[in-house]
Each structure stands twice: as C-alpha cells, then as structure tokens.
Structure 1
Amino acid sequence: MSLQVRNNVHVSGQGGATMLFSHGFGCDQTMWRYLAPAYEDHFRVITYDLVGSGRSDLSAYDLTRYASLHGYAGDLLEILDEFATGPVILVGHSVSAMIGMLAAIEDPGRFVAQVMVAPSACYINDLSKHPGYVGGFEREDIAELLETMEANYMGWSSSLAPAIMGAPNRPALRQELTDSFCRNDPDIAKHFARVTFLSDHRADLPRSATPALILQCSDDLIAPRSAGEYLARHLPRSQLHVIDNIGHCPHISAPTASSRAIDAFLAATLD
C-alpha cells in the first residue's frame, strides 16, 4: 500500500522548505483549508489524514501500532521521507501537536519549527506527580467521557462536537465538526479517543529542541489556557500566543488571528 493512499496525502505549493499540516481527533485535512493555501507560494505544503480518519485507508488501522501516539509519529516521518523537501515546519492541531513533537524528538535534524495549535501534553488534572497541573479534566471525567462514547458514539459526537468547536455565533462550523466526528468509523474513533485522552507526554517536553509556537485559545473546553502555559514553561525554545477565541479549533474559527501569529513566529524563527 502506498503512503499516498494510506494517508490520503496531498502535496501543493513550491519552495525550498516543507510545511506539513496534521489534523486533530475527529477531523481530517479539510480543516486546514483556511490556513494551508496561504503558504503555498513560499513552501511545499503537505496535508494528510491520520490513519483511521478522513479518506485514509481504514484497513491500515492497526490496534497495536496505534496504541500510542508514537505510531502516528512514525507515519508522519514516513510521509516526510517520501514527500518533503528541505527543512520542515510542522503544524499540528490538538493531539497532532504531540504527534508532531514526538516525530521532532525522534528526528530533530529534519525540523526547523513546530506550531502547536490548541495543544495539551496531558488532559487529566494531576496534583500528585505534577503539583498544580491543570489539564482540564478530572480522571473520572475522562472515564465517563469514554464510557459515554462506547455506549453511543453518534450521540456523543452530536453533543460534544459543537462544544469543542465553540464558535457560538457560527452554527455552520459547529455542524461541520459534528458531521466530521460522525463520519468516522465508531470503533476506530473509540480506540483513538482512548489513546488521545489518556496520553501523557509531559515527560517528553524537555526532549524537544525544535522552536515551537504554542497557539492557544482564551476559552477552550479541551485544552484550557493552563495547558498551554504549562507547555510554555517546560518546552524548550517555545513561546505562547493566546488568541481571543472560544473553542478548540482556531484554525477554523479564527484563521486570520491564527495565521498572523504563525507568520510572526516564522519570520522571527526562520530569519
């Protein structure tokens, strides 16, 4: 099976460096439609679907390989091996921010910058091992979320997706994310959700040497501002930029503010 088919890879643009966009849980590469085209004049642009999402080859989904985010990081590096040219700028939304960071840790010489859109290194509050850490959810909340998903995936998607999108005055965007969630294979989505919401990559943060922009929303149900602030304190060579926006998907609901922050970061980082 080719990587292009497996991950529904699309390449556009031209330039000596590559900009790769990796989407979050429940989404696909179409979520980058407001950002990715703006960079085609200066970069080789790669968009793709995580295996199990969008128009990827669902038969490639392997429960063992994707039992952790490292499997997705391996896929990302394979895609870069085949389709990238020059140094790489990695743009990852939500869980893909951590997927991208793991890839950069594994092959640091390949990456010159990483943009983390609404990231979280751990979604669960932890006051024991990491005093004061607020990821946004109690462990019991995550357990209940996963149990509800197991019992009724479509109902779970229809109720949670609009809250994740936020954008209270833009019902079309809320419906779009709901539709995206509902298009996913329920069994794959349940497994990916468990891997995502139970992941904890706080210990990996100091290992990342790639300059990073942490792009956080001021009001985010999934990744609260405290999660971004923690990343900024523990991720070397990072900077935090907070967008005044409600929701977890600023690249969709606040694309202009997102692109301005990314442009300023790249201008300073790649200069």
Structure 2
Amino acid sequence: MEVLESTVTQAYDLFTKKDFEAALDVLNNSDEDINNQLSTIEEDKRDEHLASIYNLKGFIYLGLGDNNSAKDSFERGLQLNPNSSQACAGLGEVFFLNNRDEEAKIMLEWALDLNSQNEFAKNSLVKVNRALALPDYHNSLEVDSMSEDELTIFNKCITDAYTLFKEKKFDYSLEKIEKAQELLLSGVMSNSTLLKISSLENFKGFNYLALENHDTAQGCFEKALNLDPRSSQACAGLGELFYLKRMDKESKTMFQFAVQHDPHNEFAVSGLKKVNEALGLETTNNTLEEKKAV
C-alpha cells in the first residue's frame, strides 16, 4: 500500500498547510495508481480506503470554497463507507455553510455517534447549536418536546392529512401537514423531531406527486433524505418521480435503495417490479443484492 500511504500523507500535509490546489493535484494525479493498487485487496477494505480519499478531497474542496464539489465527495465517501464519521461531519459542515442548520445538526450528531472523539464534528456541532439557539453541547435526545395538548393537535393534523390524501384533496392535505410541521419546528430540535420532519417531507412529496408538481415533490424527497439518509420512503418517492419522468435507470437505483432500507416497503417493492419490467429485466432483479452476494 506504499503508493496509497505516500499519496495521502503528502496530500494531507499540503492540506494542513492550506495549499489546497496542490493537495488536490496530488490526489487527482495519483488516481490511476491508487486504483490499481486497491484492485488487489478485498472490496470492503478497498471501499474504506476510497472513502477516506473522497473525504479528504471533500475537506480540500471546503478549503477552496467549492461547497458543491465538497458535498459530492462526502456523499461518495458515505456511499462507500456508511459508517464514516468524517463523511457525516463533512456533510454537516456543507449543510451549515448552505444555511441548512437542522440538516447540519443531524449529520454532525451521527458523526459523533459513529466516532465520539471526532473533534471536527464536536466543534462544528457547537456552532450549529449556537445558530439554532441551543446550548453548545446539546445532542438531540430521543424524546418528544411537544406538550400533551400540542401532541393531540399534531396527531389530529396527521390523521386529517391522511384522510384528505385518500380523498384526493391534496391541497387540503398539504395544509394539515404544514400545520403539523409548524408544531414540530416550534419545539426542541431533537433527532426524534428531525426524523418526524423527514417523514412529513415524504408525505408532502407524495401529495405534490399527485398534483403533478414534480419539482416541488423532488425537493421534499431530497430534504427528507438529507434529514434521514436511511429513509426508505424518500428513496421510493424519488424512484416513483424518476419513473414518471421515464428515467428508468435512475428510478431502479432509488427503488433498490428503498427496498434495501426496508424490505417490507410494499410501495418500493412494487415500484422496483414495474421499473424492472420497463427495463426488460426479471421483476425481482436487484443489483444491490447481487453485489452483496458476490
């Protein structure tokens, strides 16, 4: 692993000296050699090494002020290694820089859950908490912050919203969801609250899909996925959206992730079946499962 170690060491040294362009050049110029070297080791180990490289690239891009490239790098790092504390911390920083404080908080808390000694995540969480008017070291608790009366109103809003959705009164359903979301946002921003907001964003997304407002629906599903990267419904919603846009390959990818996150998600299972048929594949085809079996 000589090429990998020397390349990463050199790039990291340049990064600490704030010579970001040179650090990026070192990594980019060594891509082929690193990939050749990593091709000889087990897939899991290879993915971990590649994730570390993408994470380093992400922090370099942050140093360069290129937040979009940083986001892409951290997302790739997290895809390769879902247990990467640094990828979560990097995404948290990107969200914070883009004024998406709630999403930043949940990513930074996950970063610390994966590695409680991650100093970057600790420091970033402090500044996000301050932006949200929370104590410096607040780390979301798995509790509801609503009062009993508020919880009653919240539950009625959700029940009414589902009834209106079934009656195809989508605009009225959205009004109820918005009211429920306002109640959540008025309380303490805990992980439990953020996950509920994610669920509501998914619900909004399906309402907008029914209204054929595809752009707004996509925004809802993407926000839900940022708040909860393991959201099966958000993946399924994006899968359905891409299917309606006749983007069958992209649709298949999202339905597969939806099924991976929740094999009992019937909407996702049905969605994967129909997109496989559209692609001329076996209805049960799932490339993620095939990769896992190899």
Same fold (TM over 0.5): no
Between Structure 1 and Structure 2, the one with more helix by share is 2
Scaled by the length of structure 2, what TM-score is found?
Answer: 0.26
Higher relative contact order, chain-length normalized (CA < 8 Å, sep 6+)? 1
